[in-house]
Structure 1
């Protein structure tokens, strides 16, 4: 009986380690846009890590909504009608996500009075850890809690790398998709361009 308990515990520990390894391999740390390590592989169009869409070729994303990470109240992309929206896909387990959190928050504060909203999508995360992440960093824009990624899949844009940042124009059409950690200068430039396009 003791042998069975030890063996079962060892198997459970190995399974847990495998799940953590899979999650970590999905975290995009470099400049390539290939995700491997779980049941599927994603390669961005042409291997790009930054995809831009000119206004004439943009199409609105599908409706996006879900429970807000901290409050559990419903939040939806439609709540930001008429605003440009920066959508950031993140997880508290993702190193680059932790690295870019402060610049995203600063950019949000610098642009919100210009008609720009920010919306996070928290993916494959322990809800308690994700809430701690938001609280510790003082992040005051909403995030949809989307453990399974089902809500994220509705966007129908390349979003299968964590972190991903999507800049939507005022009609909620993708203008730029970053399939890696975003840098402050390029994000501000993308926002300025989207605001000028309208």
Structure 2
């Protein structure tokens, strides 16, 4: 269902394929069922690196490699001379390890801060369910939802338009053009039409 070329179907055909009602939308029960089946409306999150992987990744820096090389040379010279003075090697290794720990801590804090900002900036969407209008988090949208968009709203998901009036959308990330794209719900396009030319579709 997700891979269908929605721009090539009329809005009535889209509604039929998605088993939804253009006027009333899905029922709350249908929406809940589809959310369980299709999952949240969000991109798959990359797996977090394990702590050890992050730690050893800190040693891939060129400067760190140079310091480790210097520590190795210092250790080899002391060993060759049968000297027990390994203080230089120990100091360099300590600096490298402390630097790696600081790097892991800073990386973890940065990731946590980004996640917190994403949660705060998570957009809401207005949908019609059971004939009534509701505000729901964008990640709770499901296939078949009737979404209401107004001036200034972010597009919360990929959408096949069912109704529009002098609609223009900023799609520079998709089209490469700074001029807003005009949209029209009634138009139907061939299946092979590039996304940037699908005037009856919106993309998040």
TM-score category by the smaller chain?
under 0.3
Structure with the greater alpha carbon radius of gyration: 2
Greater strand share, structure number: 1
Higher helix share: 2
* TM superposition score normalised by structure 1: 0.26
TM-score (norm 2): 0.26
